[in-house]
Amino acid sequence: MICNNCSHKCDIPEGKSGICHARSCRNGAIVCDNYGHITSLALDPIEKKPLARFYPGSKILSVGSYGCNMHCMWCQNDSISRGYVDSDILTAQELVDTAVSTRERGNIGIAYTYNEPLVGYEFVRDCAILAKEHDLVNVSVTNGMLDSQRFCELLPYMDAYNIDLKTGIASKYEAIGGDIALIERNIESAHRAGKHVELTTLVVPGFNDDTDDFKRIIDFIAALDRLIPLHITRFFPAGDMKDVPPTKLQILYDLKQMAEEKLKYVYLGNV
């Protein structure tokens, strides 16, 4: 069966999983294997998502499952992205009830994060619908690689996004399993729907730390809206790149200066 959750369109044999490790074929149908499987749950400052201009000073209940439809060599959460971790199981109602119970601690809603949350589209959708019924906000921290139709179906229930924009070059995206056209289209859809959108670029040595690549990222954002915040974050050894040193600080400072020539809100992270 063909899985239509993202642009990979995995052709999955019976009993096997797709690229994301979170969706499989069972009894002739595509099912969401990670539905309700929770690997991480924490009440975080909203700024950690990172969201700098969405309810600053508040907290949000961050929830993660397992699986990812990209294969970044530097992944800092590679154990859950590849599905090699234990999990607890919660219903959508139980997760929303947990979010409601933490309101007195400053919680404003639920952030779907840590792994790539939208490979578990059905669980995110069900939780987001219930969350809105309880006046909670929904935040998606995502690589943006969800099928456009599904992305638009989810839009009415989402309040804010932080979307990774890993590179401005299509061939580099392809090398890590990404589709730049789909990702940019979803960013545009979220912005035009009036959702709060912030973008993050992790600057990885040898991958996207050159000015030509970064200029393409800046130009894309500026053409859409120069008020969209951009987070430029520092790489630290992780995943399959544990022997690569952290991004040089001067590179980050130079890229921030370049971005500020066209964008109003530029933030450095992990420095």
What pLDDT score does 79 carry? 85
Contact 22, 145 (CB under 8 A): no
The closest of 123, 68, 59 to 96, measured between CA atoms, is 123
pTM: 0.96
The closest of 1, 3, 61, 71 to 32, measured between CA atoms, is 3
Name the superfamily (CATH) of residues 23-269. Aldolase class I (3.20.20.70)
> Domain spans of the chain?
23-269
**266 φ, ψ to 5°?**
-130, 130
What pLDDT score does 85 carry? 79
Return the bridge partners of 31, or none: 24
Helix (H) / strand (E) containing 92? helix 92-101
Q: What gap in Å lies between CA 242 and CA 240, rounded to an integer?
A: 6
Q: Could you count the other beta carbons within 10 Å of the beta carbon of residue 146? A: 26
Q: What gap in Å lies between CA 225 and CA 240, rounded to an integer?
A: 35
Contact 163, 187 (CB under 8 A): yes
Amino acid at 198: E
What pLDDT score does 141 carry? 98
pLDDT truncated to tens, each residue of the chain (271 aa)? Answer: 999 999 999 999 999 999 999 999 999 999 999 999 999 999 999 999 999 999 999 999 999 999 999 999 999 888 898 877 789 999 999 999 999 999 999 999 999 999 999 999 999 999 999 999 999 999 999 999 999 999 999 999 999 999 999 999 999 999 999 999 999 999 999 999 999 999 999 999 999 999 999 999 999 999 999 999 999 999 999 999 999 999 999 999 999 999 999 999 999 999 8
User: In b/e form, how buried is each residue of 33-53, taking b as 16+ CB within 10 angstroms?
Assistant: bbbbbbbbeeeeebbebbbbe
